[in-house]
Amino acid sequence: MNARPHFTLLPACLLVLAGCTNQQLYSAIQDNRRQECAKLPQPQYEECLRDYDTSYEEYLRAGEDGAGAQGD
């Protein structure tokens, strides 16, 4: 009976770790895109940076909002 809590705790831990990994991946991609922006002329550079100025939390909220709209 003592083994059962380990089986319920393991999936919860994996979900938490997967969330951290997704956020780190998102940050790495955004950083790479910002570096690519640096290759552009000044006006385009600033616009490019604005395009990639979305936090991970905003990205998730936008995805949730979009998913709800598709279900209608």
Read off the pLDDT of residues 35-71 as tens digits, 9 standing for 90 and up: 999 999 999 999 999 999 999 999 999 988 876 544 4
Residue 46 resides in a domain: yes
Residue 16 has pLDDT above 60, yes or no: yes
pTM exceeds cut of 0.85: no
Residue 13 resides in a domain: no
Would you state the structure tokens that stand for residue 18, as one six-digit string?
């997967």
Contacts of 54 (CB under 8 A, 6+ apart): 30, 62
CA–CA distance, 32 with 24 (Å, rounded to integer):
12
Of 48, 27, 28, which is closest to residue 37 (Cα–Cα)?
48
Torsion 37-39-43-44 (CA) sign: negative
| Total tally of structural domains belonging to the chain | 1
Residue 49 resides in a domain: yes
Q: How confident is the model at residue 21 (pLDDT cuts 50, 70, 90)?
A: confident
Check if the beta carbon of residue 56 is closer than 8 Å to that of residue 25.
no
pLDDT confidence of residue 65: 83
Range of the domain at 46: 29-53
